């Protein structure tokens, strides 16, 4: 599955995790193959001035591996 994400560092992931990017919406960084990302939605919709830097992140296509079904 290919999704649109923005790559961040581990340190940024820790800093963002659970923090509000807009009212009633919270960052939820994900790890994909040892790299950390936030969603394109989180980048696009962030209005929290503390995290305004995420609005400058580049959105890229990332292939999310799907585990084999048993």
Q: What is the pLDDT of residues 36-70, one digit of tens each?
A: 999 999 999 999 999 999 999 999 999 998 877 54
Q: Please say whether the dihedral angle defined by the alpha carbons of residues 13, 41, 65 and 2, taken in this order, is positive or negative.
A: negative
Query: 54 lies in a domain?
Result: yes
Q: How far is CA 49 from CA 21, 22, 38, in A?
A: 9, 10, 17
- Rounded CA separation 52/62 (Å): 23
Full residue range of the structural domain in which residue 34 is found: 2-63
Give the pLDDT confidence score for residue 68 in this predicted structure.
73
Q: What pairing do the DSSP bridges indicate for beta strands 59-63 and 35-39? A: unpaired
- What predicted TM-score, i.e. pTM, was given to this entire model? 0.89
Query: 59 lies in a domain?
Result: yes
Query: 45 lies in a domain?
Result: yes
Domain count, the chain: 1
Query: 69 lies in a domain?
Result: no
pLDDT tens profile 10-19: 999 999 999 9
Query: 13 lies in a domain?
Result: yes
């Amino acid at each position: 599955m290919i999704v649109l994400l923005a790559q961040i560092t581990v340190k940024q992931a820790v800093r963002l995790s659970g923090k509000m990017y807009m009212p009633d919406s919270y960052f939820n960084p994900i790890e994909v193959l040892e790299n950390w990302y936030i969603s394109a939605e989180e980048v696009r919709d962030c209005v929290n001035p503390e995290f305004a830097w995420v609005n400058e992140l580049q959105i890229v296509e990332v292939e999310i591996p799907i585990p084999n079904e048993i």
